[in-house]
A and B are shown apart, each in its own frame.
Chain A
Amino acid sequence: MRHLFCGNKRILKYLILIPMSKEESKNKTRRDFLTIATSAVGVVGVGAAAWPIVSQMNPDSSVKALASIEVDVSKMKEGQEMTVLWRGKPVFIKRRTKEEITTANKVDLKELKDPQTDDKRVKKPEWLVLVGVCTHLGCVPISGKGEYGGWFCPCHGSHYDTSGRIRKGPAPTNLEVPKYEFVGDTKIRIG
């Protein structure tokens, strides 16, 4: 036991965690080096062995393979909204009315918790695509409710506007805009 403690103190000094006197720095031994080298290899080995056990919990290949979907929106009229499932999460696709677009554009950025202009959040102003997951704790906000004409989360009372931006309540950021693109005029590929 005494050996072990003395050894540890020397190793701490060796690693310059404890200051070393001149005399001590001359006395660095091969044993110190071996102890450190062995411990280092041990740490790397345990880490390498543990990584697969930790990583197996991440989303697997089959989950990642479902990363994109195509949605036909040709039947949607102005003011209508649809919800599709993408990566297990709801995605809102809303064909906004003219008024909704103007209200979204009129907002003073200073009023916003997570400032972002409306045109940065859409590809075509008419179409708003959002991940329908409240940025607070992941509930699905309800459309057409709340004080700002957009969405309202029933769980903890976050209000979103017609651009899906957070206006009131505990959510920290705007509703996420997923990666998407228009493939043709009435078809959207999400993901």
Chain B
Amino acid sequence: MDNTDSKSNLDNSIKPVHTNKVGGSPFTGVLGWIDNRLPIFRMFKYEYLDFQVPKSLSYFWSFGGILMLCLIFLIVTGLALGMHYKPDAKYAFDSVEKIMRDVNYGWLIRYAHMNLASFFFIAVYIHIFRGLYYGSYKEPRQLMWLIGVIIFFLMIATAFLGYTLPWGQMSYWGATVITNLFSAVPFVGEAIVNWLWGDYAVGDATLNRFYVLHWLIAFGILGLVIFHVIALHIVGSNNPSGIEPVDTRDTVSFSPFTTSKDLFAILVFFLIFVAVMMYAPNYLGHPDNYIPADPLVTPAHIVPEWYFLPFYAILRSIPDKLMGVIAMVSSIAILGLLPWLDLSKIRSCAFRPIWKQFVFIFVLDFFILMYVGSKPAEGVYVLIARIGTIYWFLFFLVIAPIVALTEKPLPMPSSIHEYEDWKKQGKLKTFRFFGSK
């Protein structure tokens, strides 16, 4: 701020500048010439070929790659569908039927897009479980976990918007119910909902903007996934032992070890996907969505897509409209608080006998909520949904902090290579379901 001060500093503050950073490439020839000017090849080499990852990684760690591929396939098939689909309340349903019947391979592309959305969620739930079980959300990976939670929110939004587009009965009424969630906002709820619809009910204007937003958010996910991966390459992969690698006895290079392992996982995963897509393409959908949207008739039993059912059960378990909406949104958002609720220094459940039990009950709770979410909101289902909802929040808000403070962990190896030795000697009960060698 002071004038005389900055003047006297001026002379000895002259420093060289480096606006020209050309050079430093490990490549030669054309690759080197490009890489010296745009360091993408060296980035690929450092981050995907030489990159060191813990050697104890199990198949659970393949789901990041699987998700990336799902996203790319979704964007590619979505692009193809977009060339034939018409986002107009009059033509949308028919244009989807045209894709199914007339467009070359339209049936394949649409079934692929539809089922990929489901498999994207299968993979992301396994991916989230992995993070939960092995403590991947803990220092220093909190930000990465938070980005992941935001990606999950965007996935939910995109899946919901995409489900509206075929303009069948489930599309229409799903859109109506979900957009009406915003009407729970005090005072301005009604105005917000009309603004979202561009009408006084879900209609043509709504469909048109949902189509645009479906695209926008899909690319938003892609952007955040890039941040997620950049953050991963800064903090490094967690692993089943939850111990950070120290030297080369603990690690392998990403290629060929992880790449070949991931490739196998990808092949198995997409084999199952193709089997479902080819033999039961509508199994994960709802037959009512092949009835054109009718604003006068609500289907007798309206259910969201299977991947929303646990959260739908939480919404319905609370008899008050506004509180139900708040509970549903916070049941997902609370995942983002987990790094600060579970303060145990030990990451992996392999060494946390008590927490491990609660994590398994949490997984069970997820499936129970999913089941009751698919049932009508009456009688015993309401009771089960309420118990499930209570456990969901207890797990994060009460169990996580208390167990972190009181649990006595099992004896731990001092390094990843020792962990591997213990495993060979049968000293550890590890999670063998997905194998680890």
Contact = CB atoms under 8 A, between A and B. Distances in A.
Contact of A172 (B201, B321, B377): B321
A34 B181 CA distance: 44
A19 interface: no
A83 interface: yes
Interface stretch (B91-99, B202-210, B346-354, B416-424): B202-210
Contacts of B179: 138
Given A57-B195, A59-B198, A63-B199, A140 B296 contact: yes
B18 interface: no
Contacts of A137: 176-178, 180-181, 321
Contacts of B318: 170
Contact of B176 (A59, A83, A139, A156): A139
Interface in B184-204: 194-203
B11 interface: no
Interface range on chain A: under 10, 10 to 19, 20 to 34, or 35 or more?
A: 20 to 34
B295 interface: yes
Given A136-B321, A139-B177, A170-B320, A58 B195 contact: yes
A154 B298 contact: yes
Nearest to B194: A59
B124 interface: no
Interface residues of B, number: 39
Interface of chain A, helix or strand or loop or mixed? Answer: loop
Nearest to B294: A140
A155 B177 contact: yes
B211 interface: no
B319 interface: yes
B201 A171 contact: no
Contacts of A144: none
A2 B197 CA distance: 47
A120 interface: no
A156 B324 CA distance: 12
Interface in A63-95: 63, 83, 85, 87-90
Contacts of B197: 59
B376 interface: yes
B301 interface: yes
B265 interface: no
Contacts of A170: 316, 318-321, 324
A21 to B, nearest CB: 16
A188 B197 CA distance: 27
Most chain B Cβ neighbours within 10 Å, of A83, A88, A153 = A88
Contacts of A41: none
Contacts of A140: 296-298
B296 A58 contact: no
B103 interface: no
Nearest to A67: B200
B195 A88 contact: no
A100 B201 CA distance: 30
A85 to B, nearest CB: 7
Contact of A138 (B177, B300, B320): B177
A172 B378 CA distance: 18
Contacts of B198: 57-60, 63
A106 interface: no
Contact of B180 (A2, A58, A88, A138): A138
Contacts of A157: 376-378
Nearest to A139: B298
Contacts of A63: 198-200, 203, 205
Contact of B302 (A88, A90, A142, A154): A154
A90 B321 contact: no
A151 to B, nearest CB: 11
A108 to B, nearest CB: 21
B353 to A, nearest CB: 41
Interface in A131-170: 133, 136-140, 142, 153-157, 169-170
B1 interface: yes
A26 interface: no
B183 to A, nearest CB: 8
Contacts of B319: 169-170
B85 interface: no
B176 to A, nearest CB: 4
A3 interface: yes
Most buried by B among A59, A89, A133, A155: A155
A87 B194 CA distance: 11
Contacts of B376: 157
A136 B321 CA distance: 7
Interface of B: 1, 173, 176-181, 183, 194-203, 205, 209, 295-302, 316, 318-322, 324, 376-378
